[in-house]
Chains A and B, each alone.
Chain A
Amino acid sequence: MSATPHVLLIEDEPNIAEAIRFLLSRDGLSVTVLDHGAKAMAVMREKVPALVILDLMLPDISGLEILTAMRGERAFRGVPVLMLTAKGQARDREAAEKAGASLFMAKPFANAELMAAVRQLLGA
């Protein structure tokens, strides 16, 4: 068993992905970045992540769809998901929580806030 929990980051904006990856790596987590949603499930099946950070708006399929698919598969049902979105509306938050998101966070976020959420979800 690896001591470092694995985090899957699905984010299409390269700069945002780079920022998050930097923050997580600095905290000793291993990170896989996907810039689209299509291969998300396949990547997860290869290696079940300890946490998924999911952007709501992706160019191909929406983050909500990936979340729904995860919650439909037993292997991923217990995987915590942190939803990120630039659309900070209440409606989006409700939809995300209903689909089974563990936490919901609006962009832009404070780095400390993000890391606190990640740690909480990893049960550290």
Chain B
Amino acid sequence: MIPFSLLVLACLAYVLFLFLVAFWVERRNANRTAGWLRSPWVYTLSLSIYCTAWTFFGAVGYAARSGLEFATIYMGPTLVFIGWWWVLRKLVRIGRQQHITSIADMVSSRYGKSPFLGVVVTLICVASATPYISLQLQSVTLSFQVFASASAVASPVNDPAVISLWVAVGLAVFTILFGTRNLDSREQHTGIVIAIAIEAVVKLVALLAVGMFVVFTLGGGIGPMLDRIAASPMAGWEVDPARWIGLTGLSAAAVLCLPRMFHVTVVENTDENHLATASWAFPLYLMAMSLFVIPIAVMGMELMPRGSNPDLFVLTLPLSEGRGGLAMLAFLGGFSSATSMVIVATIALATMVSNHIVMPIWLRLGPRAAVTGDVRGVVLMSRRMSIGGVLGLGYAYFLLSGGSSALAAIGLIAFVGVAQILPALLGGIYWRGATRMGAALGLGVGSALWVYCLLLPSFGPGAVLSASVMAEGPFGIGWLRPYALFGVIGLDPLIHAVFWSLTLNIIAFCLGSVLTFPGPVERAQAVAFVNVFDGGAGLQGWSKGTADPEALLITAQRILGDEAALGYFQEQAKAQGKGGYLPDPAPEFLDGLEMRLAGSVGAATAHAMLSQLAGRAAVSVEDLIAVASESAQMMEHSAQLESQQAELTRTARALREANEKLTQLSVQKDGFLSQISHELRTPMTSIRAFSEMLMEQDLPPDQAARFSEIIHTEAIRLTRLLDALLDLSVLEAGAVQLNVGLVSVQTILDRALAATEAGRAGRQVVVTRDAEAEQIFLRTDADRLVQVVINLVSNALKYCDALLPELRLVVRQKGGHVTLDVVDNGSGIPKEKQALIFEKFARLTDQTRAGGAGLGLAICREIMENLGGSIAYLPGQGGAAFRVTLPLRMKKPA
């Protein structure tokens, strides 16, 4: 007998051996010297993970219970692989071309890189695979127990929960060590493939050895063995054609859709031609695996005590015959079957969970981090946690289900679950009209029925669905009974579930596809998938991108790792005929990069990331908003610049105008002295000339009187001029003493008109006033305001050249201001002179008629400024018009 401890030791040694092989292969592979490691034989052997512990142990049990029916489990895959040219080749080609990382990625990618479908498929896969993984734990635990109970020494651990826990933990560690050592763009794990290939050999050798032992030692050779089989009750068992066809189809669907099978067949495929070899070698392997199933079952039933578990005949037959070594080999075979399945299934599931559930959530939580964060670390961490989670689920299922169900039943439940993906998968690669909505509906309907008709009842009556629901349907609705849907009774529960779930799945898929219209990305992907053999890149294609190569490189480094990213970029740059590490963001380059990123983070995520970097739309509303707000900021900034520019232009114009005015003023100032000189000398000339004549004393008296009068007039003129000059200088200096009081506009105008009465004498001037409007009381300096009005009125009287002079005095109140317009009906002031009239000595006509000092308007302007108002020429009034504006309540001068 083999001591239990030796068994554990052997297991550990075996695992360590596998570990070392895998490690060595990874090292060799890194140095690119592992040519033979990528042979079609390794590929074929790796496919043998189809044969799990269920096949290794369970096929015999299946045969012992149901006869030849177990063969259907091998017939489906055999048919699929023999017909590889039609389905598998296309799947592998698409998988390589699109850098597909899992079946969920495949479906998601086909239907417009739909994140939702990725999640749905992932959930179906996890739900299906969890019992399956638990099945492997159960078989390993069972085989341990067999040895433990057979062992003479009491085993230190006999609790199945403890054993399976250790198995689960050990597998998790192994898977994490090898499944997440690095992030490969295509999720290929050469080391693990080699390890499972070795395990494939071990389990085949083990089963063949047990089979030979049974046939030749126990059965006494081939002939006697055939007689025994013919004599066994198995020979008489009827074959149910419905089950045969159903199970064959189911296993064919499973070999395509099981996550682990998809992983080894499509994802780990390094060369499409390997399929050609596998197409005959894999069925051969399956045949070899099934060759001795019937003999072992027959001999087991014959030799083993009644009631012993037929699922363990492979192990118990050699043990009961005292063949410890053979039993050990059989144990390792079963162990290999279980571990290889669990490892690959866990990696495949973890990839899906990480890429389609964890990463999208993480990206959504921190969209900025997609570009800036350490994506690589997050991806690896989410992978590891997913692996732990998947194995934890399997272990939990094992504990809950109690490990009681027959192995085959659990396996079939999983088959039906993953088969729900088949319509979307096959429809996706053969039917361009298949749409996301169709796929979602089909997957939803199919998986819901699977859960209701098969998965939930499998926990046993009362576990989830009560016995009454099982017997009478929910709420007593008979046609909703899980095993008799729509009144279809008498069918085998499995076939019943397969029939309804797949039928309705296909109907929903087709209807949904026909009734909806695919989006642009989806259409492009449909063409890429369906017409994969027509050549072309297939992807929707990046038009000449605007991506910054450096930003792309930084992102790629974070996901692919420094060296891998730099290598790829350098290679691409070289291909473009450039040196360095930064290729142009050409469409081919972006396509390739997206595929490589997709290998690490999934197609949808990679697409979203690159879309962000390449500035392509069709990402998400948030991204668009972010982009929009950014460009809005830029627009605002440029608008600010523009307004600054406009302001500068305005300032420059104002400065230019000011400069022109200054120059003009300077010229005027220059002329000011000579002006003053002229203004003073002119009356002085008359005074001097006439006074000299008077001094001669021989003038007639009337002439003397006239000359005296002229002298007097000129003297007054001189005085007035000096007064005006003095007034102006005081006003300009702002040193004027204002006498502010309350006065009505009417009073002001009355006083001004009275003062100019003399000027109007002899001329018929019509003055228009509005007494009502003039009832406004102002707080201002009345004398100064009167001075202004006098000036304006007398100017109008002096210069108005109309035949019938009119003068309008218009008063208006606007808010806190009062305006007074003084308008005559003359020819007005030419436009080019309007700007100059308020300057000193800016007389427009000959001074004979004007008779003033040329300072009137200049003084008016200064007065109005002192009164807190203004005076301006008002063009377009039909004559000369001036507008005086002043505050209703003048502020007290400081």
Contacts and interface: CB of A to CB of B under 8 A. Distances in A.
Interface in B680-717: 681-690, 692-693, 710, 713-714
Nearest to A107: B685
A34 interface: no
18 contacts: A12-B847, A15-B714, A16-B682, A16-B689, A20-B689, A59-B848, A86-B677, A86-B682, A87-B674, A89-B674, A89-B677, A107-B681, A107-B682, A108-B687, A108-B688, A109-B685, A109-B688, A111-B689
B846 to A, nearest CB: 3
5 tightest Cβ-Cβ pairs between the two chains A and B: A59-B846, A19-B689, A86-B681, A15-B686, A107-B685
Contacts of B677: 86-89
B606 to A, nearest CB: 88
Contacts of B714: 15
Interface string B314-353: 0000000000000000000000000000000000000000
Nearest to B678: A86
A15 B683 CA distance: 8
Q: Is the interface on chain B under 10, 10 to 19, 20 to 34, or 35 or more residues?
A: 20 to 34
B710 A18 contact: yes
A60 interface: yes
A13 B693 contact: no
A106 B714 CA distance: 18
Contacts of A14: 848
A19 B686 contact: yes
Contacts of B692: 110-112
A86 B685 CA distance: 8
A19 B693 contact: yes
B681 A19 contact: no
B31 interface: no
Contacts of B681: 86-88, 106-108
Contacts of A109: 685, 688-689
Chain B CB within 10 A, most for which of A15, A20, A59, A88: A15
B845 interface: yes
Given A59-B845, A86-B677, A86-B681, 17 more contacts: A12-B846, A13-B685, A13-B686, A15-B683, A15-B686, A35-B848, A59-B846, A86-B682, A87-B677, A87-B681, A88-B681, A89-B674, A106-B681, A108-B685, A109-B685, A110-B692, A111-B693
Contacts of B674: 87, 89
Interface in A83-107: 86-89, 106-107
Interface in B123-177: none
B650 to A, nearest CB: 39
Interface string B827-871: 000000000000000000111100000000000000000000000
Interface in A15-60: 15-16, 18-20, 22-23, 35-36, 57, 59-60
A114 B848 CA distance: 24
Nearest to A19: B689
Nearest to B688: A108
Contacts of B846: 12, 36, 59-60
Contacts of A111: 689, 692-693
A114 to B, nearest CB: 8
A44 to B, nearest CB: 21
A58 to B, nearest CB: 8
A31 to B, nearest CB: 14
B277 to A, nearest CB: 116
A77 B846 CA distance: 29
Contacts of A36: 846
Contacts of B845: 59
A22 B686 CA distance: 12
A16 B686 contact: yes
B848 A23 contact: no
- Max chain A CB contacts within 10 Å: which of B674, B679, B684, B845? B674
- Size range of the interface on A? 20 to 34
A60 B713 CA distance: 25
- B interface SS class: helix
A57 B689 CA distance: 19
Contacts of B678: 57, 86-87
Nearest to B684: A108
Contacts of A106: 681
A13 B850 CA distance: 12
Contacts of A13: 682, 685-686, 848
Contacts of B848: 12-14, 35, 59
Contact of B689 (A23, A87, A88): A23
Contacts of A16: 682, 685-686, 689
B700 to A, nearest CB: 12
B690 A19 contact: yes
A107 B687 CA distance: 11
Contacts of B689: 16, 19-20, 23, 108-109, 111
A107 to B, nearest CB: 4
B693 to A, nearest CB: 7
A35 B847 CA distance: 11
A38 B679 CA distance: 23
B688 A110 contact: yes
A91 to B, nearest CB: 9
A109 B681 CA distance: 10
Nearest to B674: A87
Contacts of B686: 13, 15-16, 19
A57 to B, nearest CB: 6
A27 to B, nearest CB: 13
B684 to A, nearest CB: 5
Nearest to B847: A59
Contacts of A110: 688, 692
Contacts of B693: 19, 22-23, 111
Nearest to B690: A19
Contacts of A112: 692
A60 B847 CA distance: 11
Contacts of A86: 677-679, 681-682, 685
B713 to A, nearest CB: 8
Nearest to B681: A86
Nearest to B687: A108
A18 B710 CA distance: 10
A13 B713 CA distance: 13
A36 B848 CA distance: 11
Contacts of B710: 15, 18
A53 to B, nearest CB: 13
Interface string B642-680: 000000000000000000000000000000001001110
Q: Which of A36, A57, A59, A106 has the most CB of B within 10 A?
A: A59
Contact of A107 (B684, B690, B847): B684
B883 to A, nearest CB: 28
A86 B683 CA distance: 10
Nearest to A17: B686
A15 B708 CA distance: 12
Nearest to B711: A15
A110 B846 CA distance: 26
Contacts of B688: 108-110
A40 to B, nearest CB: 15
Nearest to A13: B682
A106 B681 CA distance: 9
Most-contacted residue by chain A among B681, B685, B846, B847 (CB, 10 A): B685
A4 B233 CA distance: 174
A14 B682 CA distance: 11
B6 to A, nearest CB: 131
A11 B834 CA distance: 28
B419 to A, nearest CB: 114
B120 to A, nearest CB: 101
A14 B687 CA distance: 13
Nearest to A18: B710
A18 B693 CA distance: 12
Nearest to A22: B693
Contacts of B679: 86
A109 B710 CA distance: 17
A42 to B, nearest CB: 19
Nearest to B706: A18
A19 B679 CA distance: 18
